[in-house]
Amino acid sequence: MKCPYCNYSESKVIDSRPTDEGERIRRRRECLKCAKRFTTYEIIENVPIVVIKKDKSRETFDRNKLLGGLLRACEKRPVSIDMLEKLVDEIENTLQNSLDREVSSQKIGIYAMEKLQELDEVAYVRFASVYRQFKDINSFMEELSKLINKKQDSENE
């Protein structure tokens, strides 16, 4: 942080406290060169995630849209809304923590399928059938076979 008086680039924090209900942090600083004091404010930067759709259009990531798709896949399944919100939180955190500000809808779908597969296999197949747009019964059966083989492998270990 540069001193506003002498432009020296090093200072020490004297006092630090939250303001605006914890949305910002107020810091009193002292320049290590001229010893003058000044105040700075820090805010959390929330950079939006842009989703690149199949048709190459772009839109801001909407967690409610993802949650809606997961809710449809989990309809009449023993999966609580809290479990789905936690799943969406995990996906959103993964996206926020990545260095990419733009992500394909396919990547989000893959994250969702991975999480759903652990949560509920029927919901996973439902979501995959919409996401992967199975063209016929054979492609659907291939996906079911993969799921069955994976389950048998994990039971044999």
Residue 104 has pLDDT above 90, yes or no: yes
Three-state DSSP state, 119: helix
**Is the pLDDT at 111 greater than 80, yes or no?**
yes
What's this model's pTM, rounded to 2 decimal places? 0.63
User: Which pLDDT belongs to residue 148?
Assistant: 78
Q: What is the DSSP letter of 78?
A: S
* Overall number of domains in the chain: 2
Q: Which residue intervals of the chain are DSSP H helices?
A: 63-73, 81-97, 105-119, 121-131, 137-156
Percentage of the chain beyond pLDDT 90 is 54
Indicate if 137 and 80 belong to the same structural domain.
yes
Cβ atoms 122, 151 nearer than 8 A: no
**Do 32 and 102 sit in the same domain of this protein?**
no
Residue 138: pLDDT above 80? no
User: In the predicted model, is pLDDT for residue 136 greater than 80?
Assistant: no
Can you give the residue range of the structural domain that contains 141? 50-156
- 108: buried, middle or exposed (CB in 10 Å: 19+, 13-18, 0-12)? buried
Judgement on whether residues 26 and 76 belong to the same structural domain of the protein: no
**Segment 5-26 mean pLDDT:** 89
DSSP 18-32: EEGGGTEEEEEEEET
59 and 78 together in one domain? yes
Residue 47 has pLDDT above 70, yes or no: yes
